[in-house]
Amino acid sequence: MVDSKSNSIGQKKNQQGSTKQKRLAIEQSHPILTCVRQCQLLDLPRSTFYYEPVPATKEELDLMARIDRFHFEYPMYGSRRLAHQFGISRDKARRLMQDLHLVATYPKKRTTMPSKDHKKFPYLLRGVVPLYPNHIWSTDITYIGLSLGFVYLTAIIDWYSRMILSWRLSNTMDTNFCIDCLDEAFEYYGEPEYFNTDQGSQYTSSKFLDRFAGRSTKNSMDGRGRWLDNVYIERFWWTAKYEYTHLQGIETLPGLQVGLEHFMHWYNNERIHSSLEYNVPSAVYSGAIELAR
């Protein structure tokens, strides 16, 4: 009986790769296996299992919000210059950049090798101009600060019309909320000819890529450190933050959810775009307006 239970725990190691999933897999009230033994079987350090995250202070959240705004104005600043700019250590600047999902935009050496378990695709959109709705979609993840923490926002944008097809909020950087966002876009808008992402683990996982099985969509991925490869969604992040979240004193996730629902409706149906000949995205996407291109 002990051996079968041990094998069951051991199988979870293969099925659940992330540290968070391993922590959730441990049963503290297991009748046979101690927490120590379960940690050994899952190859999880005991210190990691027993660690309780310390919530960020109000001062640190304010600092993160200022760094986030600063990054939009000066995206070329890396951890060294941000540390000098804000009077903090470089280690702290690096950690906050990771928490905020910020990457300095300058040519970098290839210092990280791709995971053997995750599939990568080449960038297919160099020189390609979006010519019609559902020609090219892309997605990304950004950080949004709250008064008591921060959450992540993902969205899918249609390049031709600039319309936001779907979006999701999450308090963790997992794959599931990206998949939910993709499934909704497929359900309501069909499928694009091209779908572009960065090389983040959310988009290179088999769980995400399986959603494209049997579809004619061609997957494309940004080059490493090349934010311009996905510039349409990057411009939308700038709009969402400077025209909504940075102007509001948002305190809770439910409040942000409601506020973003109003903002997304306004963005798609009322906000005019100079790049759309001063039309709104929904009119261009639906074909009610044909752009002179």
Tokens 């999701």 locate to: 168
**pTM (whole model) above 0.85:** no
Predicted confidence at residue 229, as pLDDT, reads: 66
| The residue type at 126 | R
Predicted confidence at residue 108, as pLDDT, reads: 41
Predicted confidence at residue 226, as pLDDT, reads: 56
242: left (phi over 0), alpha (psi -120 to 50) or beta: alpha
Pairing of strands 194-197, 218-221: parallel
Predicted confidence at residue 2, as pLDDT, reads: 40
CB 146, CB 256: distance < 8 Å:
yes
Predicted confidence at residue 228, as pLDDT, reads: 63
Predicted confidence at residue 131, as pLDDT, reads: 93
Predicted confidence at residue 115, as pLDDT, reads: 53
Is the CATH number 2.30.30.90 carried by domain 136-286?
A: no
DSSP string of the chain, one letter each residue: -HHHHHHHHHHHHHH--SHHHHHHH--TT-SSS-HHHHHHHTT--HHHHH--PPPPPHHHHHHHHHHHHHHHH-TT--HHHHHHHHT--HHHHHHHHHHHT----S-----SPPPTTS-------TT----STTSEEEEEEEEEEETTEEEEEEEEEETTT--EEEEEEESS--SHHHHHHHHHHHHHH---SEEEE-S-HHHHSHHHHGGGTT--PEEEEPPTT-GGGGHHHHHHHHHHHHHTGGGS---SHHHHHHHHHHHHHHHHHT--BGGGTSB-HHHHHHTSS----
Q: What residue segments make up the domains of the chain, in order of their start?
A: 2-50, 58-100, 136-286
Q: What is the pLDDT along the chain (293 residues), one digit of tens a residue?
A: 344 444 444 444 344 346 667 777 788 788 888 888 888 887 888 777 777 767 778 888 889 888 888 887 777 788 888 998 999 999 999 988 888 878 776 544 332 334 556 688 898 998 899 999 999 999 999 888 776 677 889 999 999 999 999 999 998 888 999 999 999 999 999 999 999 998 888 899 899 999 999 999 999 998 765 556 678 998 898 888 888 877 676 777 888 899 999 999 999 999 999 889 999 999 999 999 888 76
